[in-house]
Amino acid sequence: MILTRLNLTNFRNYKKCSVKFDKHLNIFIGNNAQGKTNILESIYILAITKTHRYGTENYLIRRDAEQAKIAGTLRINKIPKDMEVVINKQKKIVRVNKTEIRKISDYITNMNVIMFCPDDIAIIKDSPQVRRNLLNIEISQLFRDYIIYYNEYNKLLKNRNEYLKMLYINNLSDERYLDVLTAKLIEKAVLIYQYRNDFINKINANISSIFYNITGIDNLTVKYVTNVDFENFSTEEITAKLVDKFVKCRKKELQNGSTMYGPHRDDFYFLFGNDDIRIFGSQGQQRIALIAFKIAEIFIFKEIHDTNPILLLDDVFSEIDNKKKNKIIKYLKDDIQVFITTTDLKNINRSLLKEAKIFEVHAGNLVEKVGI
Ligand SMILES: Nc1ncnc2c1ncn2[C@@H]1O[C@H](COP(=O)(O)OP(=O)(O)OP(=O)(O)O)[C@@H](O)[C@H]1O
Ligand SMILES: [Mg+2]
């Protein structure tokens, strides 16, 4: 898929911006704090409806403005599709082809993006929450049902935790309603496990060879960590395992007022052979492992949606040596649309510059640069 046009109104430091993109390579060059990341962020929000950055969403609206609007036209196998996200202080409205879409799950499967940014290192270093969040976003872009199940799961989880607390505080012994909530929670948990398991398997089918091509090092894998072993088991078997876990920990759960097992407690990490990359890998290797993970995703998105996702590369090349950079660039094939930001064109390979549409970014303005 290709984003052919983008229009911003009162988004971050852009008052008004209207721009047409190249179908393959688009490069944004500018000094710090000019609006390069803001452009990629706007494209990310157009797809996911949420920012990839920290902080409250009110900052997405330009200072002193009432609402921000991001609009763009996609082309998917030659068919155009208008996407729009309007953010005001109270709510967010999303539209496809000018029609408002009420369910986010119906919106976010329309446009697929993969973001590469310096903050990605948090995926390796930070808490499991960050990694779960990544899994949820990526799988939600692929399968509409995943986000529906996930939201239902979270609602049930919240209800169940509240009910556990209530039983404990009031010293009640009738646990029939808890059993109902538990059964419903398990049903959704199994579905989430299956989606995640499938996604991780698909990543593992590609990541090792990608990492090897870039670094010459073999054996990178991703390991999903869960307290319920579900790999290679049927739905019935996973359900039975979970039921058993829940029976065994009921007393503890009542005391803690929280649900001890399920996908909300899971994690994943990167392994070199048997060694955890957090402990064993260099900083550069950790970065490349994440890049390999995301390149693996390109293959998955293409396989499932029959079109390439849009790649957003925020200042990623500045940290990588030239040899590896050249190898990564080989994955940016002609039929993939790529957006790259940099403070210095020296960080970008000359062969890419020749093909690219280059924009200079200055204080929330984009100017196309001609003749490099
Ligand atoms: N809500 C807002 N209203 C107005 N300006 C904003 C808003 N949010 C952020 N900005 C401004 O946007 C600019 C940051 O833009 P951005 O993060 O895109 O910079 P950048 O060009 O990527 O810089 P760097 O090279 O440092 O990463 C800052 O000047 C910041 O003050
Ligand atoms: Mg930036």
Q: Is ligand 1 within 6 A of the CB of residue 37? A: yes
Query: What is the rounded average pLDDT of the residues 147-175?
Result: 93
Name the domain boundary from 304, 334, 354. 304
Q: Is ligand 1 within 6 A of the CB of residue 42? A: no
Domain shared by 239 and 256, yes or no: yes
CA 12 to chain centre: 21
pLDDT at 244 over 70: yes
Domain shared by 164 and 289, yes or no: yes
CA 40 to ligand 1: nearest atom: 18
- Residue 328 maps to a domain: yes
Name the domain boundary from 304, 325, 342. 304
Distance of alpha carbon 36 from alpha carbon 358, whole angstroms = 12
Q: What is the pLDDT of residue 215?
A: 94
Residue 322, domain CATH: 3.40.50.300
Domain shared by 132 and 249, yes or no: yes
- Distance from residue 34's CA to the centre of ligand 1 (Å): 6
Token code pair at residue 231 = 């790999």
Q: Is ligand 1 within 6 A of the CB of residue 38? A: yes
- Distance from residue 172's CA to the centre of ligand 2 (Å): 54
Domain shared by 286 and 162, yes or no: yes
| Residue owning tokens 């407690």 | 265
Q: What is the pLDDT of residue 57?
A: 85
Pocket test for ligand 1, best of 13, 32, 344, 366 (most atoms within 8 A of CB): 13
Token code pair at residue 260 = 């001890």
pLDDT at 97 over 80: yes
Q: What is the pLDDT of residue 20?
A: 98
pLDDT at 372 over 80: no
- Residue 121 maps to a domain: no
The pLDDT tens digits of the residues spanning 253-276 come to 999 999 999 999 999 999 999 999
pLDDT at 164 over 90: yes
Q: What is the pLDDT of residue 126?
A: 94
Query: Do 94 and 100 contact (CB within 8 A), yes or no?
Result: yes
Domain shared by 192 and 139, yes or no: yes
pTM, entire model = 0.95
CA 18 to chain centre: 26
Name the domain boundary from 263, 289, 304. 304
pLDDT at 352 over 90: no
Domain shared by 365 and 348, yes or no: yes
Token code pair at residue 25 = 């390579």
Distance of alpha carbon 212 from alpha carbon 86, whole angstroms = 42
Domain shared by 321 and 222, yes or no: no
Query: What is the rounded average pLDDT of the residues 182-207?
Result: 96
Domain count across the chain: 2
Domain shared by 289 and 344, yes or no: no
Query: Do 112 and 47 contact (CB within 8 A), yes or no?
Result: yes
Query: Do 296 and 114 contact (CB within 8 A), yes or no?
Result: no
Q: Which of 10-19, 39-48, 271-280 has the lowest mean pLDDT?
A: 271-280
Please give the residue range of the domain that contains residue 42.
1-112+307-372
Protein residues with C-beta less than 5 angstroms from the ion ligand 2: 36-37
